[in-house]
Amino acid sequence: MGLLPSTNLDNFWVTVLLLKHGEGNDCADIEAAIGQFLKYQVFMSLLNWSSNRNAIPPVKNDEDKQAIMLISFLSNCLGFPTENPDFLGFLLNELRRFETSFNRYIADQVNQDAYGYEQKSFKLLSWLTEAKLTSILDFNYTDHSFSHSEAMHVIYDRNIHGSIEDQPIIGIDQSMFPAVDRKYEFSKTYRVLEATKRHVDQSVMSHQIKQIVFFGHSLGPADYSYFQSVFDYLDIYENNVEIIFGFAPYGDLSVDAAAHVQEPRVAVLFDEYGKSMDNQAHGNNLLHKLLLENRLSIHNYKNAEEMSYFEYKRFNGGE
């Protein structure tokens, strides 16, 4: 997700993204930017400054420069309180403000052509499910009420990180900080826990699952904990579970170029998952085992008529 047309620029996390973009980083990955900020010295500099306004860091490196710019932004643009400041509470509130703006942006995009979006999504989901009984763990924020139709064969679906009908959840992977650290509140796990106060869903998991299909997910580290939970639950090393990573070329990417984007992401995902396994010998050869048993594949899906709506627009030069 990038800097969005409807996102307020007077937001702390938008400013962090702009600074990261200035370093040549991908400004689209706000979750990585949040995690890096909370881990690095810039955070400590601002935390010290929030309780002692005289604690301005000397400019010795690029991180110090970032801290000075963010201090100026906090002071002049956001009016950060001088009395009883709660810096982490402020950062969480700024994240919620970002989510609200992001929610409006996604809703606006869908509403520009709600019928077209639903039609393309219906066709895409039909292809993915192949008329099989299916449970959907959706990492997007759009709703798809059509998935409940008999034609879809969908047993259950859940927007794990909220939806435009509720409130999107943006966060970091829960493994970055221990639960006793207040920065853990920025994790998706904690924020999904907060959301259970609003509603409780049934489980998307079942030991009857024999196939896992990924589509449209960047396989970013912020969601590794979810993937690990799914792989552990289904015991993919021992059980005959097939795993498919689907992709569709978009923009100017050829099929081969799009595949080359996906392949290292898949390799890194299983390398990281292997490190979490109790049996390290199994973890080290997991990817090899899945390939040897023909249980892992990367599938190209380039039929523009059945792409997701936004991929279809990009593929055809739309905005």
Residue 245 contacts residue 239 (beta carbons within 8 Å): no
Q: At what angle do helices 62-76 and 12-22 cross, to 10 degrees?
A: 150
Residue 28 CB partners (closer than 8 Å, separation 6+): 1, 2
Whole-prediction pTM:
0.74
What is the pLDDT at residue 144? 67
What is the pLDDT at residue 5? 43
**Structure confidence by residue, pLDDT tens digits, 143-173:** 766 556 665 677 777 788 888 887 788 999 8
Whether the per-residue pLDDT at 300 is higher than 50: the answer is yes
Cα–Cα distance, 85 to 240 (Å, whole number): 54
Question: Model confidence at 295, in pLDDT bands (50, 70, 90)?
Answer: very high
Question: Model confidence at 202, in pLDDT bands (50, 70, 90)?
Answer: low
In whole angstroms, what separates CA 216 from the centre of its chain? 11
Question: Model confidence at 2, in pLDDT bands (50, 70, 90)?
Answer: very low
Instruction: From 174, 166, 181, 20, select the one nearest 102 (Cα to Cα).
Output: 166
- Domain layout of the chain by residue ranges: 12-104, 114-168+205-315
89-125: string of b/e by CB count within 10 Å (b at 16+)? Answer: ebbbebbebbbebbbbbbbebbeeeeeebbebbbbbb
Whether the per-residue pLDDT at 310 is higher than 80: the answer is no
| Helical (H) or strand (E) element with 102 | helix 87-111
What is the pLDDT at residue 228? 93
- The CA-atom distances, in angstroms, between 80 and each of 11, 13, 102, 185 are 12, 14, 23, 20
Q: What is the DSSP string of 33-94?
A: HHHHHHHSHHHHHHHHHHH-TT-PPP--SHHHHHHHHHHHHHHHTS---SSS--HHHHHHHH
Residue 284 contacts residue 270 (beta carbons within 8 Å): no
